[in-house]
Amino acid sequence: AILPPMGDAEAGIDDEKPNSLRKQMFMNLLICVVLISPAAVLATSGFGDQVRCAKTSKICYDLCYTTYRDVTRRFQSEMKGELECQQNCQDDVDECTAKSNSLMLGAVFLVLGVACGVLLNSVLPWMIGGYGSDDSLVEVRRARALYAEPIFTEDETRASEAARRKGWWEAEHVPSTLVEVNCQTCTLKVTLDARWLKAQMSGLKSAICPKCRSIVAGVT
Position 69: which residue type? Answer: R
Closest-CA residue to 35 (of 103, 101, 118): 118
pLDDT, residue 194, reads 79
Identify which has the larger pLDDT, 2 or 185: 185
What sections of the chain are H helices per DSSP? 6-67, 80-128, 134-140, 154-163
Residue 112 inside a domain? The answer is: yes
For residues 73 and 122, state if they share a domain: yes
**Mean pLDDT score, 133-146:** 49
What domain count does the chain have?
2
Question: What 3-state class would DSSP assign to 218?
Answer: strand
State what percent of residues in the chain have pLDDT above 70. 73
CA distance 31 to 49: 27
- Reported for 11-16, long-range contacts at CB under 8 A and 24+ positions apart, including other chains, are 16/132
Which domain, by its residues, includes 210? 154-161+175-218
Would 129 be classed as within a structural domain?
yes
Distance CA 180, CA 220 (A): 19
What Cα–Cα distance (Å) separates residue 191 from each residue in 68, 163, 186?
101, 19, 14
Mean pLDDT, range 91-109, rounded to an integer: 92
How does pLDDT run across 59-74, given as a tens digit for each residue?
A: 998 988 888 887 777 7
Q: Are 50 and 97 in contact (CB under 8 A)?
A: yes
Q: Could you tell me if 26 and 107 lie in one domain?
A: yes
pTM comes to 0.46
Range in 78-87, 145-154, 186-195 the model is least confident about: 145-154
Residue 145 in any domain: the answer is no
Q: Do 90 and 186 belong together in one domain?
A: no
- One domain for residues 202 and 96: no
Looking at the fold, whether 194 and 101 belong to one and the same domain comes out as no
Q: Please indicate, yes or no, if residue 54 is contained in any of the structural domains.
A: yes
Do 78 and 181 share a domain, yes or no?
no
The verdict on residue 7 lying in a domain is no
Residues 107 and 180 in one domain: no
Q: Is the dihedral of CA 42, 44, 48, 51 positive or negative?
A: positive
At 193-218, the pLDDT tens digits run 777 777 777 666 777 787 787 777 76
Query: pLDDT category, 13, cuts 50, 70, 90?
Result: very low
pLDDT for 147 equals: 59
d(CA 33, CA 27): 10
Model pLDDT, residue 45:
92
* Orientation angle between helical segments 6-67 and 80-128, nearest 10 degrees: 180
Residue 53: how many other CB atoms lie within 10 Å: 19
9 in a structural domain: no
Report residue 72: phi and psi, to 5°: -85, 125
pLDDT tops 80 at residue 118: yes
Angle value at C-alpha 15, between 26 and 122, nearest 5 degrees: 35
Examine residue 6 and state whether it is found in any structural domain, yes or no. Answer: no
Tell me which H or E stretch contains 216. strand 215-218
Q: Are residues 198 and 117 in the same domain?
A: no
Q: Are residues 50 and 118 in the same domain?
A: yes
Average model confidence (pLDDT) across the chain: 76
pLDDT top residue among 139 and 43: 43
- Answer whether residue 1 is part of any domain: no
Q: Are residues 47 and 131 in the same domain?
A: yes
For residue 76, give the DSSP letter. G
Let me know whether 118 and 195 are in one domain.
Answer: no
pLDDT score for 133: 44
Q: Are residues 180 and 127 in the same domain?
A: no
**What's the pLDDT band for 41 if we cut at 50, 70, 90?**
very high
